Amino acid sequence: MIHLSEKDPAGTLPLLCLIHSESKGALQGIAEARLIRLATEPDLLLEWALKCPEGLLRPQVLKKVLGHLKREQVIRSFKLFFARAPELQATRILNEFPVGISGGADIFFAALEKAPAAIQKVAIANLFRCPTPSVIATLAEIVKGNNYKKSPDMEEVEAALKSLLAINDPQAIQFLNEVLRKRRGFRRSYRKEIRRAVESLRSKGQP
């Protein structure tokens, strides 16, 4: 299997994914190590994400993949993924992404750049899974940016608010407080919509 994956990595990827998913112990470890090595090729990481997302989404595996690859490789690979993946697969990656994985925000940023609009909103709603300062700043910019639109995209805004409410961070809390307490230059009608959205999210169990 190891020799085959060296000679024909694309051809043996499905077999490696199957072994990684179905096996345990040393055999699973061998398959995992080979998959992580193959993931340095953007097209092969794309195939892994498409054919075996449950294996890639294991926290210990994802940490190794993101630790093994350079940041630009991760971004490039997932830009390809979100540009090509069926909606179901793209949504699954975003909805099941483990919380707090270092470097994981780059995957969501790739979705925001290359995914269709509907998938972008799924990514925004799940950005709380990577609560970094850059993520909080991105969510705040989404809320602020819609203030200047003639017709704010409230689905996008609600997705951003959902993530901000889920992030237990002073920066996120401060931004929400400033928006809701009239300390920023938001249009009155837009602020009312934000308040309604926040109340609705909290009634559904958001913090």
Cβ count near 52 (within 10 Å): 18
Report whether 147 contacts 178 (CB < 8 A): no
- pLDDT for 10: 59
- Report the C-alpha gap between 31 and 11 in whole angstroms: 14
> In this predicted structure, what is the pLDDT of residue 158?
97
Inter-helix orientation angle 133-146/154-166, to 10°: 150
Domain boundaries, the chain: 131-207
Contact criterion met (CB below 8 Å) for 108 and 75: no
Per-residue model confidence as pLDDT tens for the chain (207 residues): 444 445 555 566 667 777 766 777 777 777 777 777 777 776 777 777 887 787 788 888 888 888 888 888 888 889 988 998 899 989 999 999 999 999 999 999 999 999 999 999 999 999 999 999 999 999 999 999 999 999 999 999 999 999 999 998 999 999 998 888 876 678 889 999 999 999 999 888 765
Assigned token pair, 134: 């850059």
Which is nearest to 111 in space by CA: 178, 129, 171?
A: 129
Residue 1 confidence (pLDDT) = 47
Q: Is 112 exposed, middle or buried (0-12, 13-18, 19+ CB in 10 A)?
A: middle
pLDDT value of position 3: 47
CA dist list (Å): 28 to 19, 65, 131, 172: 6, 15, 31, 40
Q: Which amino acid is located at 159 in the chain?
A: A
